[in-house]
Structure 1
């Protein structure tokens, strides 16, 4: 079915590609989701892949296309510069880069965000999700392969911290002695036991490297039944992450969790177990953020 719209919002990450056709009020008229993330696109044929997705949207007229995520990285289509912290939505709009194409006309690429202090860090894509929230202050958590904890003050991204929690979990169960942990059904009890252990050992100053091997020792010696599961290992890593992040930011209000199920639920359960209040963000914050950036840029007439 043919669709009309004002802009096409593209959330293009490492493993997933999502496109949205938005009208002049930001309402989603059509959307697509595929597994054609940037690492799945051969020979950097990004324009061809985008054409397939746009065709599925059923667009009847050319309209501005705005891209966010790892598509703006060195491995992507157009590498954009990073905006320094503190960063606000107007900075993202002002520093977008444009690629002229014969097929689509100009395509806009949203920059990432960087910080140099207190520690160096970078993000691409998460900044668009954060500015898509109806929130000016507080702490946001974006779980994933590389979890981000983002501190908002007066509508600006003041700072953030990245944790390679998902990446580390994947590597541990694929390439280390912990791959021997059985791949059983998810256990909420084991997960929460891991949350408590990871948080407590972080509080005690125990190295995560030591905590990981203790997981194996506790299981083999029969000291902790739950330690012999991947659910426990996941909890251990997330508990350590939460412990470190809360020691940095000391959230005084509920943490806003942005992401997809089931990961958001796991993190919120972990936070609750440790007495940290949280709330789930409204769905589809990425296209809302892209829409707001497009408005500021004057791309929606």
Structure 2
């Protein structure tokens, strides 16, 4: 067996192929992750060179550079991927699935990418919520399936669940009997980055320090108070004025802004969050903790936090597709 990091024969190779990075998981017969690898060859950062003459060749080269030895050593193992690899800018577009959707619906709509001399790549579709204001997700649907699988492994299968996925474009997805039935998108992370880097608010900020918890809590408090009733476009200028009046230091302003934005997001959702569904936050733990604080500040129960569930979601979909 060539690759020394595989001590068992893999049953599945799973890829989380996003915009900026590519993660590969070798998975065993029971769905356990045997080994993980990561590269910077996301969809927007593919290899280039004189021998790469097409986008398909660039995708194949990225795959070979990361785990070509895995694929060559275990040619029988199926290959599945989620994320932006299935977007219009990806290897091949995997059309969105309508709601409601569960793992069987995603599995039945995978898009095949034929690879010369190797297993085809099965690309998981994203989800489309049609309507006057359409909404889409791509990659998060697999995280949701991973949350469901991780809880099923513990014998927990609630009829209704609300999954929050904090990030650049935060998603909130309602799941009923294992099917995603509705979701909302908040561009909170991207707006935070834009405001800190490209507006006057960032001129007085000192970024990169430890979390200033009082400043963050102050932002949450303003967002849910009568002062926040006019909305985030009204309160966000207070980042500057509290700095000018020396009520917030440069190092505290970014955390106050984070509290404001997350606080407004959670405040907007609070009426629906009180409907009794269990809440699970899934994503980077530090960011999830900020959202947990925002939920608690609204008087809501402390949510469960899960991370690293994408391979479980890919395993669940692969099982439904008969690949694992």
2:287 matches 1:263: yes
Q: Could you tell me which residue of structure 1 aligns to residue 315 of structure 2? A: 291
- Match 1:171 to one of 194, 199, 213: 194
Residues 238 and 282 of structure 1, relative CA distance in 2, 3 Å threshold? closer
Contact in 2 for aligned 1:73/1:79 (Cα 8 Å): yes
After superposing the two structures, state which structure 1 stretch, 158-167 or 135-144, moved more: 135-144
After superposing the two structures, state which structure 1 stretch, 247-256 or 261-270, moved more: 247-256
CA distance in 1, matches of 2:210, 2:15: 34
Q: Could you tell me which residue of structure 2 aligns to residue 23 of structure 1? A: 28
Residues 249 and 270 of structure 1, relative CA distance in 2, 3 Å threshold? closer
Query: Post-superposition shift, 1:203?
Result: 6.2
Contact in 2 for aligned 1:202/1:243 (Cα 8 Å): no
- TM (norm. structure 2) is 0.85
Number of equivalenced pairs? 298
CA distance in 1, matches of 2:103, 2:287: 27
Q: Could you tell me which residue of structure 2 aligns to residue 236 of structure 1? A: 260
Residues 108 and 167 of structure 1, relative CA distance in 2, 3 Å threshold? same
CA distance in 2, matches of 1:129, 1:115: 17
CA distance in 1, matches of 2:217, 2:306: 25
- Match 2:44 to one of 24, 39, 42: 39
Moved over 4 A (4+): 56-59
- Match 1:49 to one of 46, 62, 69: 62
CA distance in 1, matches of 2:244, 2:307: 42
Q: Could you tell me which residue of structure 2 aligns to residue 84 of structure 1? A: 98
Contact in 2 for aligned 1:9/1:66 (Cα 8 Å): yes
Residues 119 and 16 of structure 1, relative CA distance in 2, 3 Å threshold? same
Q: Could you tell me which residue of structure 1 aligns to residue 52 of structure 2? A: none
Contact in 2 for aligned 1:11/1:18 (Cα 8 Å): yes
Query: Post-superposition shift, 1:50?
Result: 1.1
Q: Could you tell me which residue of structure 1 aligns to residue 143 of structure 2? A: 129
CA distance in 1, matches of 2:39, 2:96: 27
Contact in 2 for aligned 1:226/1:232 (Cα 8 Å): no
CA distance in 1, matches of 2:240, 2:226: 15
**C-alpha RMSD over aligned residues:** 2.2
- TM (norm. structure 1) is 0.91
Contact in 2 for aligned 1:201/1:211 (Cα 8 Å): no
Q: Could you tell me which residue of structure 1 aligns to residue 154 of structure 2? A: none
Query: Post-superposition shift, 1:250?
Result: 3.2
Matches within 5 A, 1:139-288: 139-180=162-203, 181-183=205-207, 184-200=209-225, 204=229, 206-222=230-246, 224-225=247-248, 229-288=253-312
2:127 matches 1:107: no
Contact in 2 for aligned 1:202/1:208 (Cα 8 Å): no
Q: 5+ unaligned residues in a row in structure 2: which ranges? A: 49-54, 152-156
Query: Post-superposition shift, 1:237?
Result: 0.5
After superposing the two structures, state which structure 1 stretch, 13-22 or 232-241, moved more: 13-22
CA distance in 2, matches of 1:80, 1:48: 20
Contact in 2 for aligned 1:17/1:34 (Cα 8 Å): yes
Q: 5+ unaligned residues in a row in structure 1: which ranges? A: none
Q: Could you tell me which residue of structure 2 aligns to residue 64 of structure 1? A: 78
Secondary structure of 1:229 counterpart: helix
